[in-house]
Amino acid sequence: MKKLNSISLGLGVIILISLVAFNTPEQATVKYNYKQVTTLESVVGAGLGRSSVMATTDTGTVVLSQYELKNFFGAAGINMGNVQTNEQTIVKMISDMQTKGWELFSITSTALNTETKRQGIFITRYLFRRNSEQ
């Protein structure tokens, strides 16, 4: 009988230790604010296209004029200088957002073109988030 009580007590202690060890405290749920920034880069010959950076705000979508994008094509074809300028502008925009506490959370990109394939648009959406308590 004494042996049975000792085994029962030992099993009880093991079960109690297991319950305490595996009882993890609840994690606090982090709430985020989100902001989407969209770049539209035009692929229209002769420099006739329009490229821009837009962002969602509480009151709607606005063009961010401080981030000017150039059209990929000029009168003579693709303008590599404009492509490079756009890359620098987009990196600056991302850096500015991070400085303001926004984390780059997701990027989605697509290309839209017409049936002629001589014009179109590259659309890239950058989704940023930050802790809502900031």
Let me know: does 109 contact 116? Beta carbons within 8 Å. no
74 pLDDT exceeds 80? no
Q: What is the pLDDT of residue 66?
A: 85
Q: What is the pLDDT of residue 1?
A: 56
Segment 100-109, tens digit of pLDDT:
999 999 999 9
Amino acid letter, residue 94: I
Let me know: does 67 contact 92? Beta carbons within 8 Å. yes
Q: What is the pLDDT of residue 62?
A: 84
Rounded to whole angstroms, how far apart are CA atoms 70 and 42?
8
Mean pLDDT of the chain: 80
Q: 50 pLDDT band (50/70/90 cuts)?
A: confident
Domain residue spans of the chain: 32-131
Let me know: does 46 contact 53? Beta carbons within 8 Å. no
Is this prediction's pTM over 0.85?
A: no
Rounded to whole angstroms, how far apart are CA atoms 1 and 62?
81
